[in-house]
A and B are shown apart, each in its own frame.
Chain A
Amino acid sequence: GQQVMQIPQYQHVQEGEDFTTYCNSSTTLSNIQWYKQRPGGHPVFLIQLVKSGEVKKQKRLTFQFGEAKKNSSLHITATQTTDVGTYFCAGNDYKLSFGAGTTVTVRA
């Protein structure tokens, strides 16, 4: 069945630095979604990518969907303390499968 792998599991970032989290699927996806879960909270939808090679930006966040529609990445520039949380990708072929998430902590 479909599996979505996400790396790294943990990301410790100095405030102001950039980082990237990666998502890989064992199958070709029709689309991919990204969610953010703050500590003690619930996942909140960030964005959906549909087209091969698609790139979308939300302020300091850049989301990319691979050409083969089997991988995706989230790049955050100039990390802030508000970026703390766990970022999940969720790949969709016939149903949504969530990766294990990247938990981000920020050193001020």
Chain B
Amino acid sequence: DGGITQSPKYLFRKEGQNVTLSCEQNLNHDAMYWYRQDPGQGLRLIYYSQIVNDFQKGDIAEGYSVSREKKESFPLTVTSAQKNPTAFYLCASSPQGPGGQPQHFGDGTRLSIL
């Protein structure tokens, strides 16, 4: 079945540590997205990529970095500069981006600070 795979499901970070969240899709979609979801809030866009080797900052990019070396993969690194990283992180993709087409979401990664 086609879909989006996020790993790990749960992740714990120590203070001052960078961590990388994985997102892989086999839907052959050009566009991929990273969102952050906090309790009682909607999805806030961190970064998005419309094509390989290109990506743009979203609304809350500070403290995060991404790469898009392959069409299928869009990893997100939460750096030590992100002071409040505890959240639920969702990866999504769409045939093209950034708007106008439905987005397909992975199951998410829940990040917590130790």
Contacts of B107 in A (CB 8 A): 41-42
Residues A96 and B104 in contact, CB atoms below 8 Å apart: no
Contacts of A93 in B (CB 8 A): 99
7 contacts between A and B (CB under 8 A): A33-B102, A42-B107, A43-B103, A88-B42, A90-B43, A93-B99, A95-B58
Interface membership of chain B positions 32-48, coded 1 if the CB is closer than 8 angstroms to chain A and 0 otherwise: 00010000111111001
The answer for the CA separation of A84 and B41 in the assembled complex, in Å, is 17
Is B85 close to A, CB under 8 A? no
Least distance between A99 CB and chain B CB atoms (Å): 5
Is B105 close to A, CB under 8 A? yes
The answer for the CA separation of A33 and B98 in the assembled complex, in Å, is 13
Residues B106 and A42 in contact, CB atoms below 8 Å apart: yes
Residues B108 and A42 in contact, CB atoms below 8 Å apart: yes
Pair count A-B, CB < 8 A:
53
Is A9 close to B, CB under 8 A? yes
Contacts of B44 in A (CB 8 A): 98
Contacts of B59 in A (CB 8 A): 1
Least distance between B43 CB and chain A CB atoms (Å): 4
Is A13 close to B, CB under 8 A? no
B interface residue numbers (CB < 8 A to A): 35, 40-45, 48, 58-59, 90, 98-100, 102-108
Residues A45 and B104 in contact, CB atoms below 8 Å apart: yes
The answer for the CA separation of A4 and B44 in the assembled complex, in Å, is 12
Interface of chain A residues 5 through 58 with chain B (CB within 8 A): 6, 9, 30-31, 33, 41-45, 48
Residues A92 and B99 in contact, CB atoms below 8 Å apart: yes
Residues A95 and B90 in contact, CB atoms below 8 Å apart: no
**Closest 10 A-B residue pairs measured CB to CB?**
A92-B99, A45-B102, A98-B42, A42-B105, A100-B42, A98-B43, A95-B98, A96-B99, A43-B105, A95-B99
Least distance between A32 CB and chain B CB atoms (Å): 10
Contacts of B100 in A (CB 8 A): 30-31, 92
The answer for the CA separation of A6 and B42 in the assembled complex, in Å, is 10
* Closest residue of A by beta carbon distance from B105: A42
